[in-house]
Amino acid sequence: MSNAYKYMDANHIYVDSKTGVLKNLQGILEHDVLLFVESAAVTKRLQELYENPIKIKSIDSLFEIHKHLFQDIYVWAGKKRLVEISKDGKQFFPISNFDNAFTYINQLITEFKKIPKDNKKELAEKLAEILDNINYLHPFREGNGRTQREFLRLLALDKDLILNLNPSDNKNVYQQYMKGTIESNVLVLTELIFELITSNN
């Protein structure tokens, strides 16, 4: 929950008006406590997706992943945001145009599924393009990064590829990922994904 983010939420749809903390199913009223509890809950749910992966069919699968990851914390888990979000003065995709974005991203997913499994370069390029568009979409009030990284992992798995954009032992990967997503630099994302993906065989 970065301070660089700004949310147009005058009616306090998501945030407690007194504490400024995201409304949550646990009734937590402190930022640090919520971060800790949320992280633990999501880590547990992520492990479940490793054991029982969701098959990526369309953009709907992104919402299915978010719902699974955040079901213990937020009542709006798996639901598209109702507020506009910006970061460092740059606005993410406006909610009024979400349907157009969903159609476009579904097209990219279809294109990805048509790429041969052994064409690592083209697969990396398409995954980077999908990631860039989903990041710009930023469809959730919270948890976008974790959800989109898991979405990419599961989409790569569709081609029997392993892709971990969040390795605990490699800060450089996360730094490159952040640079690529924040700057909307598809080349950086392509190079990172190409470097990381390996065969599951």
Give the tens place of pLDDT for each residue, 111-127.
999 999 999 999 999 99
Average pLDDT over residues 89-103: 95
Tokens representing 191 are 């190079």
3-state helix, strand, coil in the chain (%, to 5): 55, 5, 40
pLDDT in tens, 15-47: 999 999 999 999 999 999 999 999 999 999 999
Question: Nearest-CA neighbor of 1 among 145, 131, 135, 136?
Answer: 145
Measure CA of the first residue to CA of the last residue in the chain; give whole Å. Answer: 37
pTM: 0.95
Render 95-164 in DSSP notation, one character per residue.
Answer: GGGHHHHHHHHHHHHHHHHHS-TT-HHHHHHHHHHHHHHHHHH--SSS-HHHHHHHHHHHHHHTTTEE--
Confidence of residue 102 (pLDDT cuts 50, 70, 90): very high
- Asked if 91 and 85 touch (Cβ cutoff 8 Å), the reply is yes
Confidence of residue 2 (pLDDT cuts 50, 70, 90): very low
Give pLDDT, residue 16. 95
Distance CA 181, CA 142 (A): 16
Domain ranges across the chain: 5-199
Distance CA 65, CA 54 (A): 8
Average pLDDT over residues 187-194: 97
Give pLDDT, residue 88. 84
Q: Which CATH class is domain 5-199?
A: mainly alpha
Distance CA 21, CA 31 (A): 6
Give pLDDT, residue 168. 76
Residues 6+ apart with CB under 8 A from 193: 124, 127, 128, 131, 152, 163, 165
> What are phi and psi for residue 6, nearest 5 degrees?
-130, 140
Confidence of residue 89 (pLDDT cuts 50, 70, 90): confident
Confidence of residue 1 (pLDDT cuts 50, 70, 90): very low
Residue 161 clears pLDDT 60, i.e. is over it: yes
